[in-house]
Amino acid sequence: MCGIIAYIGKQKAVPILLEGLKQLEYRGYDSAGISVIQNEKIITLKAVGKVVELQNKIGAQDFLGKIGIAHTRWATHGKPSDRNSHPHGDCESNIFLVHNGIIENYQDLKKILQKKKHKFVSETDSEVLAHLIEEFNKKPASTRGDASSTRGGLDFKKSVLEALKLVRGTYGLAIINKNEPDKIIIARNGSPLILGIGKDEFIVASDASAIVRHTDKVIYLDDGEMAQISADGFEISNIKNKIVSKEISKLNWTLEESKKGGFPHFMLKEIFEQPEVIANGLRGRVEHFLSEDNFPILGGLRPIEKKLRRIKKIIIVACGTSYYSGLVGEYMLEEYAGIPTEVEYASEFRYRKPILDSSTAVVAISQSGETADTLAAIREAKNKGALTLGIVNVVGSTIARETDAGTHTLSGPEIGVASTKAFTTQLVVLVLWTLMLGRQRDMSSVMSKRIAQELKNMPKLIEGILKKSKEIKKIAKKYSYAKDFLYLGRKYNFPIALEGALKIKEISYVHAEGYATGEMKHGPIALIEENFPSIFICPKDSVYEKNISGMQEIKARGGKIIAIATTGDKEIARIADDVIYIPKTLEMLTPFISVIPLQLFAYYFGVAKGYDVDKPRNLAKSVTVE
């Protein structure tokens, strides 16, 4: 979940590393640090807090070194502090590294190393790796049968290889060595690393946002792979030191897409991008369902078309916001495709004993395509013979590569930690999959076209809601006193209640709970009083009257009510204290438009509280550790 960047080339490393850290800061912002090789020594600077604190510490110092590593941290072991910040070094300050992941057996390794007189300065698991590499780097080569370095021990690369053989856990690593100052070694196991290939330079990062300014040519490392990089080239091998041939890929987004574009925060920019990214996700796809093609198939799923026809059960695995999009998908797939569907927390999937076979499809939903728990769930499903499918945003991500087939959401880079446009573009794919699987079964062509046409209109409907942002801002400010919220919805909008509650928790740090409206009187209603407002998602749909009943129960107990309602609904205005109107659409598509006011409400509520909504405390964008 931390951000890693490394540079080797002909330019000064420090400005490039700092710029990269700023691009990666959404991955972690507890502390930051940098190490650069200069004048036959490694200079390391660290600072607690955001990257700007590190930048201030560097100040006007002019570092000439052209090779370095840097890191922005999301703490797992040890509180944020200078000594727990990365990069971490060995006893002699010869070897420094940055690490993303968790070393599960670090305590055992640390005890062994302490007996060998290694001195540790941090509370982290990561520091163990630096000392372990040091131990092999000074070990006499004659005892290992390996070529020695000028220091009489294993060379740098072999020291890293030997050390990683003893490690149990996950890692993305970038490592430098003062005694071999012309190279960087990187390694991956369960934590993403990308090698960017520029002109006379190489940039390594934990995701593409730190690379795109310099090059669009990249290589994605797979688990169990490492690379030795010099200014002249690179060599990729596996943990057994066998050379691996890798394809060079091209990044599919630009630097401009990762800038704020005049908005005060990335989150607001990404909320307002939703009409455009939804249109992008539909382009070239929705037309299949509006044509006379009886059994359309999405391009990424064509190779497994016959297998899709044999599916008897779907299990969706995901975490956080992606889990809630999966819940919406469950309603769609069961109602319109007629396929029994379950949605599982990916973090729990492996610890049950799921019943899987070749007629089961396990679908992973992940914005980053690197979510550790979701990736682990997919690997478990593959081992048990299930068909594995992916719905991810990042092309070339691990989940995209390891699933049997899938569909990209095409939402572009999402920088704000609280996910917005990723959610609605995941819904786009789930609707398209529902149409495709439904047409393979009992869905009529007439129904398919009706849904597809309304889906095609969705960007325009969302644009209309976004024009009400000032109105929603006023309502958010009105309720900025609240320390608790209850979000309520039924059927397709029950998952939206969960998502709305998550959003306000993530960026405003207030207590909020999402519930099915019918469950409200089975406990949560006890919390209701004047200063505990409720947000009802209550469009004119098949469960409208049931929602109205729940609203009356809240009102009878003095609770304040904000309603998300269908345009023209005058009855609801007599019950709710405030109403945000959304346009009429098909019931299965209401989540697209009911979630937009909740995203805006959470955003403006967080801003009213004075928080940095792009970088909420304790959170990171891509959860690449368990």
Could you check whether the bond before residue 354 is cis, i.e. omega within 30 degrees of 0?
Answer: no
Contact by Cβ (8 Å): 303, 448: no
Q: Which of 50, 183, 503, 621 is catalytic?
A: 621
370 token code pair: 């690197």
451 token code pair: 């849904």
Classify residue 383 as exposed, middle or buried by CB count within 10 Å of its CB (0-12, 13-18, 19+). Answer: exposed
- Give the DSSP H/E element, type plus range, for residue 38: strand 31-38
- Reduce the DSSP state of residue 170 to 3 states and report it: coil
CA 186 – CA 548 distance, rounded (Å):
58
Contact by Cβ (8 Å): 539, 494: no
Active site residue 621: yes
End-to-end distance of the chain based on CA atoms, in angstroms?
A: 10
Contact by Cβ (8 Å): 366, 423: no
- Give the DSSP H/E element, type plus range, for residue 171: strand 171-177
What are the residues facing 389 on neighbouring strands? Answer: 363, 405
426 token code pair: 């995941």
551 token code pair: 């609203």
Q: Which of 2, 91, 319, 538 is catalytic?
A: 2
CB atoms within 10 A of CB 370: 24
149 token code pair: 């370095």
Burial pattern 70-89, b for ≥16 Cβ within 10 A else e, equals bbbbbbbebeeeeebbbbbb
Query: Comparing C-alpha atoms, which of 73, 81, 174, 104 is closest to residue 133?
Result: 174
Please give the DSSP secondary-structure letter assigned to residue 126. Answer: T
CA atoms 481, 486, 490, 495: torsion sign: positive
Residue 397 vs residues 270, 295, 552: alpha-carbon distances, Å: 21, 29, 47
Where residue 57 falls (left for φ over 0; alpha for ψ -120 to 50; beta otherwise) is alpha
Query: Comparing C-alpha atoms, which of 29, 30, 23, 61 is closest to residue 45?
Result: 61
CA 539 – CA 235 distance, rounded (Å):
58
CA 42 – CA 90 distance, rounded (Å):
12
Active site residue 2: yes
Enzyme catalytic residues:
2, 621
